[in-house]
Amino acid sequence: MGHGARHVAIIMDGNGRWAKKRFLPRVAGHKAGVEAVRRVTRAARELGVECLTLYAFSSENWKRPAEEVSDLMALLKYFIRADLDEFHANNVRLRIIGDYHALDPSAVEMIDAALERTAGNTGSTLVVALNYGAQDEMVRAMRSIGAQVASGTLAPDAISPEMISSHLDTAELPPLDLLIRTSGEKRLSNFLLWQAAYAELYFTDMLWPDFDADALGEALNSFAGRERRYGGR
Ligand code: FPP
């Protein structure tokens, strides 16, 4: 506690390299990645993080081989089946960002049931990004704002940063404080581009399947030690 980060987001990278180092198939890395998701969601709750957002499947991940895409979908369904009870028992609300209706119908059905079941929970929020891309999110928001302008119900001058934020998938979430990326890559990869405007960025060489409560604690400590000025001085 006392770290002050309300909203933490993670780009969970390095599953493939973790598997490769062990001469295992990529799917073994994704399975170990789900174990890390389990550890880190528990740790985040215990450390008092109000909202945790995980980049599970990007709008670009469809370009991966069909077998890997279907492995990831199967793991997502397994995760909901195996872990939803625990989240619900801990008063965690599940949210999705991204255009998840494009996933396979059985996944969409499970997700909708999970969203409905946890909608009334008031503890922390777990946000899973599925078929998410920040540019796609902004295009959807611009289309909706543009339609209001075109119909004459919205004056262009009424468009403000707050108004744009309220049209994004993250509309009701707390502002993003800390964005973590594992595996040594230093890119945002089309994740939360608008929301990251004033977020602190934290990069670690650790591969996602190795990430744990201590690693999250270290990231939160680093965040607590930073001075955020939001462009002021
Ligand atoms: C990046 O590793 C990871 C992904 C593309 C998927 C992340 C998914 C999970 C951790 C499991 C499913 C998630 C949930 C919430 C159940 P990579 O394959 O790009 O690794 P590499 O860069 O080393 O190849």
Residue-wise pLDDT for 88-123, tens only, equals 999 999 999 999 999 999 999 999 999 999 999 999
Residue nearest to atom 1 of ligand 1 (CA): 13
Query: Of the candidates 166, 92, 169, which has an alpha carbon nearest to the alpha carbon of residue 130?
Result: 169
Compute, in angstroms, the gap from residue 71 CA to the centroid of ligand 1: 11
Atom of ligand 1 nearest to the CA of 207: 23
Chain mean pLDDT for the chain: 96
Mean pLDDT of 6-12: 98
Which residues form the catalytic set? 13, 61
Residue 184 pLDDT: 98
Residue 1 pLDDT: 56
* 178-181 vs 93-97, strand pairing mode: unpaired
User: Confidence band (pLDDT; 50, 70, 90) for 79?
Assistant: very high
Residue ranges in the chain assigned as alpha helix (H): 15-21, 26-46, 66-89, 105-118, 134-150, 161-165, 213-224
Pocket test of ligand 1: the residue of 12, 26, 60, 83 to mutate, having most ligand atoms within 8 Å of its CB, is: 12
Compute, in angstroms, the gap from residue 209 CA to the centroid of ligand 1: 9
Mean pLDDT of 211-223: 97
pLDDT in tens, 141-170: 999 999 999 999 999 999 999 999 999 999
- CA 138 to CA 155: how far, in whole Å? 19
- CA 190 to CA 176: how far, in whole Å? 15
The reply to whether the predicted model has a pTM over 0.75 is yes
Residue 15: CB within 6 Å of ligand 1?
Answer: yes
